[in-house]
């Protein structure tokens, strides 16, 4: 397709909302990419919502573009897997080429990170494992995605990961024509391209592993391993420069997990993981060590082989953590240092329990994070408070966390942690009144100078700031200042960083100067 033809046809794409393409009525436009636009649509025959990808008009008469568009559908349709966006139908109506596919209610990884910040270890492992499971399925069918990046990793509301957009995918057993190969070599996102992809060499599943490694490095650290203003600069770094050690940017990560990410980023193909299955085996080993409660121990990273079994059973883990919870709830007088000393065992209960449950689920349903009950089904009561927590961490929905409060109100520490999760959900959804109720309760019911009181005050301060009530927020900062070191929630610390900046800009620098100094010191210690 010539440049003149492109420019002549270039311009805003018409809004197709309301059009019927075969069995699908387009409801509204969701977004667009370089070659296609995506619409939310209703499939009339099954009365379900789907996503319909429509090839842009200026490409519809170009044989190469149409072939690439149809190739995406063929490649993805062959991959039936819980962690891959499913293809329902491919068609052309009145010259409009479209692909109807699964509609994922959620956001892509880039949007998720912008909203939540870097995930904790268990969340990150879950995202990485599910994406790797999708690549493993693709590798079994000799399909290379060739454009793995945060925008193409979708996270549903239930926490399930879906790899999308096989627009550049190539089926290795079906050689492409010259036109497709040449066009494909210039496509992709240079920030995430493998060295061999940038050099135009033949690709296999190891290229997708490299791109996933770049994505994970950015997910955990908040920055890409390489940055540059030009494609040439990025290409040179991917080919010749080693990334900064991930553990130096994220000291909270297990060393073994950092080693996994760097092995994914190996420039030499023999030094990189040979397959997604090999990557998954090492991720299982890292997760097994986390479930054992010692995230600082280096997990043995095997060259090949299956993951080791967990070091302790679910029942043993339940008994060990329950013992710690009982000791905390009795209010033993070994003072705040002792309580903070066991905070790792108890404070990360959500991540620990969720990881154990997710690991078990993954073995029962490979590639799945959670089998979410259908809407309207009540969350079932589990046989113990800890198992209820496991179930809630698995689903991570409002109803699931409410079930901890309803079924086990006599477990104060678990109730507090469940309310933290509920407050996060309410904040994310803009339900400030409900979030404020939880924060006020934590501030009032928590022991003086406790983590609960600090969390409650910080939450109230954040909501006042979001609502433009800066003087009320500043007054709460004054109350929070003497017990600031009790605030352990990292996401709340990050939110407060924005709060302080906003208050300073609205009320003057002196109002929040001490808080700004403390937050700077706090974050500099974590880097």
Q: How confident is the model at residue 60 (pLDDT cuts 50, 70, 90)?
A: confident
Q: Which of 10, 62, 120, 147 is catalytic?
A: 147
Question: Using an 8 Å Cβ cutoff, are 52 and 100 in contact?
Answer: yes
pLDDT at position 354 is 41
- Residue at token pair 């013992």: 323
User: pLDDT per residue over 352-363, tens digit each?
Assistant: 334 433 343 333
> Does residue 369 register a pLDDT over 90?
no
Count CB atoms within 10 A of the CB of residue 177: 11
> Does residue 521 register a pLDDT over 90?
no
Whole-model pTM?
0.54
Question: Using an 8 Å Cβ cutoff, are 512 and 503 in contact?
Answer: yes
The DSSP line for 436-470 is: HHHHHHHHHHSPTT-HHHHHHHHHHHHHHHHTT-H
Element (H, E) at 97: strand 96-102
Most confident of 57-71, 198-212, 440-454: 198-212
CA distances from 115 to 243, 311, 355, 414, 494 (A): 26, 34, 22, 25, 11
* Residue closest to 451 by CA, chosen among 408, 496, 484: 484
Q: How confident is the model at residue 16 (pLDDT cuts 50, 70, 90)?
A: very high
User: pLDDT per residue over 479-519, tens digit each?
Assistant: 887 887 788 777 788 777 777 777 777 776 544 455 556 55
First to last CA, the chain: 49
Question: Using an 8 Å Cβ cutoff, are 176 and 184 in contact?
Answer: yes
Active-site residue flag, 294: no
Question: Using an 8 Å Cβ cutoff, are 225 and 191 in contact?
Answer: no
User: pLDDT per residue over 250-284, tens digit each?
Assistant: 988 999 999 999 999 999 999 999 999 999 999 99
Question: Using an 8 Å Cβ cutoff, are 142 and 96 in contact?
Answer: no
pLDDT at position 26 is 96
Listed in sequence order, the residues at least 6 apart from 38 whose beta carbon sits closer than 8 Å to its beta carbon are: 29, 30, 31, 32, 51, 52, 53, 54
Coil, strand or helix at 252: coil
Domains of the chain: 3-102 (3.30.200.20), 106-291 (1.10.510.10), 330-526 (1.25.40)
* Residue closest to 56 by CA, chosen among 93, 101, 11: 11
For residues 49 and 105, give the distance between their C-alpha atoms in angstroms, rounded to a whole number: 10
pLDDT at position 518 is 57
pLDDT at position 159 is 85
- Among 5-14, 55-64, 286-295, which is the least confidently predicted range? 5-14
The DSSP line for 26-94 is: EEEEEEE-SSEEEEEEEETTTTEEEEEEEE-GGGTT-HHHHHHHHHHHHHHHT---TTBPPEEEEEEET
């Amino acid at each position: 397709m010539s440049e003149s033809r492109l420019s002549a046809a270039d311009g805003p794409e018409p809004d197709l909302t309301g059009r019927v393409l075969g069995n699908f009525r387009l409801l509204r436009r969701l977004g667009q990419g370089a070659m296609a636009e995506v619409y939310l649509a209703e499939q009339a025959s099954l009365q379900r919502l789907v996503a319909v990808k429509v090839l842009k008009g200026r490409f519809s008469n170009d044989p190469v573009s149409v072939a690439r568009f149809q190739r995406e559908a063929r490649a993805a349709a062959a991959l039936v897997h819980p962690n891959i966006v499913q293809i329902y139908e491919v068609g052309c109506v009145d010259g409009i080429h479209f692909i109807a596919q699964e509609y994922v209610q959620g956001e892509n990884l880039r949007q998720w990170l912008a909203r939540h910040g870097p995930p904790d270890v268990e969340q990150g492992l879950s995202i990485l494992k599910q994406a790797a499971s999708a690549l493993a399925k693709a590798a079994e069918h000799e399909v290379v995605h060739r454009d793995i990046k945060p925008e193409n990793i979708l996270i549903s509301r239930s926490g399930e990961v879906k790899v999308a957009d096989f627009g550049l995918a190539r089926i290795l057993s079906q050689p492409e024509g010259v036109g497709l190969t040449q066009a494909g070599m210039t496509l992709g996102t240079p920030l995430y391209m493998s060295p061999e992809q940038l050099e135009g060499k033949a690709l296999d599943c190891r290229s997708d592993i490299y791109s996933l490694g770049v994505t994970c490095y950015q997910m955990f650290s908040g920055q890409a391993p390489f940055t540059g203003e030009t494609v040439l600069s990025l290409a040179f770094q991917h080919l010749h420069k080693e990334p900064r050690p991930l553990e130096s940017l994220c000291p909270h990560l297990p060393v073994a997990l950092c080693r996994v990410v760097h092995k994914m980023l190996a420039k030499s193909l023999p030094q990189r993981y040979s397959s997604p299955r090999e990557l998954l085996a090492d991720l299982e080993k890292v997760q097994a060590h986390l479930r054992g409660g010692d995230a600082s121990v280096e997990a043995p990273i095997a060259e090949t082989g299956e993951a080791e079994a967990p070091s302790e059973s679910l029942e043993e883990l339940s008994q060990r953590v329950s013992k710690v919870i009982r000791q905390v709830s009795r209010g033993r007088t070994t003072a705040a240092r002792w309580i903070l000393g066991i905070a790792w065992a108890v404070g990360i209960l959500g991540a620990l329990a969720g990881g154990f449950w997710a690991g078990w689920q993954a073995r029962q349903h490979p590639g799945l994070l959670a089998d979410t009950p259908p809407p309207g089904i009540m969350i079932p009561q589990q046989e113990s408070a800890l198992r209820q927590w496991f179930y809630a961490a698995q689903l991570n929905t409002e109803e699931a966390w409410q079930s901890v409060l309803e079924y086990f109100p006599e477990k104060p520490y678990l109730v507090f942690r469940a309310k933290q999760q509920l407050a996060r959900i309410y904040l994310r959804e803009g339900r400030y009144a409900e979030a404020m109720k939880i924060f006020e309760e934590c501030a009032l019911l928590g022991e003086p100078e406790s983590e609960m009181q600090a969390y409650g005050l910080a939450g109230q301060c954040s909501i006042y700031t979001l609502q433009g009530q800066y003087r009320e927020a500043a007054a709460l900062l004054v109350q929070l200042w003497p017990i600031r070191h009790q605030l352990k929630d990292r996401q709340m610390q990050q939110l407060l960083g924005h709060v302080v900046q906003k208050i300073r800009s609205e009320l003057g620098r002196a109002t929040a100067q001490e808080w700004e100094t403390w937050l700077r010191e706090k974050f500099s210690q974590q880097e």
